[in-house]
Structure 1
Amino acid sequence: MQRVASITLSGFGVPESLRWHEGALWFSDLAHGTVHRWGGSGEPETVLKVPGRAGGLGWLPDGRMLVVSMDGGRVYRVERGGELVEHADIRDLVGGPVNDMLVDPRGRAYVGNFGFDYHAFVRESPNSMLYAPPGPPKALIACLGPNGTVLGATEPTLFPNGCLLTADGSTVVVAETLAMRLIAFPVRPDGTLGPSRVWAPLISPVLWHAVNHPGLLGRATRRISALLDKPAIARRSSSPIAPDGIAWDSDGETVWVANALRGECVRVAEGGRVLDRVRTSQNTLSCLVGGHDGRTLFAATVPTDDPVRAAELGGGRIEMVRL
């Protein structure tokens, strides 16, 4: 029987970027631009509000927090006294809102971005129409040194999103959301990322070919996909998986994927084999395996990922299930 997550916290806009840090759950609210901390009981604490909407979170080795400014094209640093200062300006590298971020144990940060104004597009057109030739614009992942210096950037990717570092520090695994797959980049000695490889495809090759086809096949597939893009239908479908946030399972080898297309978190092995599914109440944007014993799956869920509409609805939730 498929496990079902229970609703733990509610009333947010777009909760995202779940992190377990110093015995507490941390997350951003992309609709309200705030960062929150929850110790496991009572109401969560609002830690700060970030200019340009808070996005990805991480911590430097000395404990200072880094937080993305999605619309500001920057990464901010929270000093020991609580002052928010600019850590890095990456506006020259991004083509849309800045997104999730991974900070490694040495303080190097890897920061993705949308590549274009995704929400403006889907307010006017079905998501499947993104794949009409030439397809959606691609985006770079910025590689930052511990002091905020831009070390370089990756090859262009389709909406780089959640990131993970392997235990040995040799590889960064990235959710390439609009390509429906996880990709892996080798970490070079200087902290930049080398050429990518596919870690786990999450859409069938036949469907991927069809939705991107420049001719009649592609037009028909995109139109059918648009007609099927309804919550009631999506809940009954198991494919494709659009990876948003990702998290290592406690085994350190398989990855939990927040499926932005439907209410579920999916555990996958390298190569793309689906091993487990946990159902959530709404579409899932972020996930995390944490808790005091490292055996709880947390999920951030939303009725819509549009920050304007989500701020009005206040329907964002944090859900959890014991693994």
Structure 2
Amino acid sequence: MRARATVVLDGYGVLESLRWHDGALWFCDLAHGTVHRWDTRGEPETVAEVPGRAGGLGWLPDGRMLVVSMDGRCVYRREPDGSLVVHADLKGIAGGPVNDMFVDRRGRAYVGNFGFDYHGFVRKQPNSMLYAPPGPPRTPLACLSPKGELLGLSEPLVFPNGMFLLDEEQGADDGQPAGAGPTLLVAETLAMRLTALPVLPDGRLGPPCPWAPLIPSALWTSLNHPGVLGRITRRVSALLDHPAIADRSATPIAPDGIAPGRDGTAWVANALRGECVRVGPGGKILDRVATSQRTLSCLVAGPDGTTLYAATTPTDDPQRAAGLGGSRLEAYTLPS
């Protein structure tokens, strides 16, 4: 029998950006612009209300929280008195809503964005039509210093989303040889792949390298074909996007949030259907855990560090989701 998560919290707009910090699970509600903290026992508390919809989360070494404002296209810093101040303004960088964020132990933040008005596009036509040449717009990750200064931009990526460091312990101290350091693993949602970018000693990101394709190469080629083959593939794909069909498919996987797994693997929240998938380098699928609906974020955490949490939603469209209140937090205890 396939492993299945159970619902532990319900009634939110769009839950995203699961983080474990200071003995509690933190998350955002993208539809309502709120940040929540939950100790896994009682009721979650609302920690902050963020102008422009709350997105990615992280913390500076001194404990101050960083939170993305998606529509404000900036990163806020939460001061000890609870006030929010602009940590970094990304209006000149982001081609669409600012999205997920990873903050390392030094306080350097890596921030993605949609690159274009994704929801505006899919409200008018199927998602598969994005792949008509020239394909979805590309956009860089912004690399920020602990003070919010722009260190640099990555090479453009296809809808960069969830991120984590594969080997954060490496390069943690100054004085490492040139080029030494950890690797940032990034979910390119619309490219349906995980991509690795080396973190350079100064915090900037090096050239991206393939880490795990999550769509068969033949299907990817057909989907992006400029001729008749592409037009047919995109139309068929649009028909297969229906939830009743998509839920019965094992491929492709659209990675949204990602989190570290065992032995250098990655847990992937599949934005196309209700599941979290553990993936190894090269794209080998090692485990699947079913959820009740489309999954946008995942994290292995909890008091004993053995619980897979998943943020799920009936729709990621913030306008629709705000009225539905159908987003859930689900959990599954991983076998030892």
> TM-score, normalization: structure 2?
0.95
Moved more, 111-120 or 41-50: 41-50
Q: Which amino acid aligns with 1:152?
A: G
Cα RMSD of the aligned pairs, angstroms, is: 0.7
Q: Which moved more, 1:147-156 or 1:39-48?
A: 39-48
For residue 283 of structure 1, what is the aligned residue in structure 2? 294
CA 1:179–1:147: 2 relative to 1, 3 Å: same
Asked if residue 155 in structure 1 is aligned to residue 166 in structure 2, the reply is: no
Query: 1:48, 1:232 → 2: CA distance?
Result: 37
Corresponding letter in the other structure for 2:133: P
Rounded to whole Å, the distance in 2 between the matches of 1:301 and 1:105 is 28
1:312 is the counterpart of 2:323: yes
Tell me which amino acid in the other structure corresponds to 2:329.
I
For the residues of structure 2 that align with 1:176 and 1:137, how far apart are their CA atoms? Answer: 12
The amino acid that maps onto 2:286 is L
List runs of 5+ in structure 1 lacking aligned partners: none
**Match in the other structure for 1:77:** 77
Using the size of structure 1 for normalisation, the TM-score is 0.99
- Matches of 2:241 and 2:51 in 1, distance apart? 33
Code of the residue aligned with 2:57 in structure 1: it is L
1:220 is matched with 232
Report the secondary structure of 2:287's partner residue: strand
- 1:107 is displaced (CA, Å) by 0.4
1:274 and 2:285 are equivalent in the alignment: yes
Measure, in 1, the Cα distance between the counterparts of 2:263 and 2:154.
Answer: 25
Deviation (angstroms), 1:170? 1.2
SS of the aligned residue for 1:209 comes to helix
User: Residue type matched to 1:61 in 2?
Assistant: P
1:254 aligns with 2:265: yes
Q: Match of 1:13?
A: 13
Equivalent positions of 1:208-247 (< 5 A) are: 208-247=220-259
Corresponding residue to 1:179 among 183, 186, 191: 191
In structure 2, what is the Cα distance between the partners aligned to 1:211 and 1:140? 23
Give me the whole-angstrom Cα distance separating, in 1, the residues matched to 2:239 and 2:199.
41
Instruction: Tell me the residue number matched to 2:65.
Output: 65
CA-to-aligned-CA distance 1:48-82 (integer Å, 9 cap, x gap): 10011100000001110000000011000011111
Following TM superposition, by how much is the alpha carbon of 1:303 offset from its aligned partner in structure 2, in angstroms?
Answer: 0.3
Percent identical residues:
70
1:318 alignment partner AA: L
Specify the SS of the correspondent of 2:235: helix
**How far apart in 2 are the matches of 1:105 and 1:115?**
27
Q: What SS does the corresponding residue of 2:231 show, helix, strand or coil?
A: helix
In 1, Cα distance between equivalents of 2:58 and 2:15:
16
SS at match of 1:11: strand
- Look up the equivalent residue of 1:223 and give its one-letter code: R
Alpha-carbon distance, 1:174 to partner: 0.2
1:120 aligns with 2:131: no
Give the Cα–Cα distance (whole angstroms) in 1 for the partners of residues 236 and 268 of structure 2: 25
Could you say what secondary structure the match of 1:124 adopts?
coil
Return the offset for 1:166.
2.0
What's the counterpart of residue 178 of structure 2?
none
Displacement of 1:252 in angstroms is 4.6
Matches of 1:112 and 1:47, distance apart in 2: 23
Aligned partner letter, 2:211:
W
In structure 1, C-alpha distance between the alignment counterparts of 2:139 and 2:27, rounded to whole Å: 24
Correspondence list, 1:31-110, <5 A: 31-110=31-110
Q: Distance in 2 between matches of 1:84 and 1:13?
A: 22
1:42 offset after TM fit, Å? Answer: 2.2
Q: Deviations over 1:91-110 (max 9, x none)?
A: 11110000000000000000
Q: CA offsets per residue over residues 218-274 of structure 1, 9 Å max, x none?
A: 00000000111111101110000000000001x251100000000000000011000
Report the Cα offset of residue 148 of structure 1. 0.2
> Partner of 1:200 in structure 2?
212
- 1:125-170 deviations in whole A, cap 9, x for unaligned? 0010000111111111000000000011011110000000123251
Residue identity matched to 1:257: V
Q: Tell me, what secondary structure is at the counterpart of 2:237?
A: helix
Give the CA deviation at 1:212: 0.2
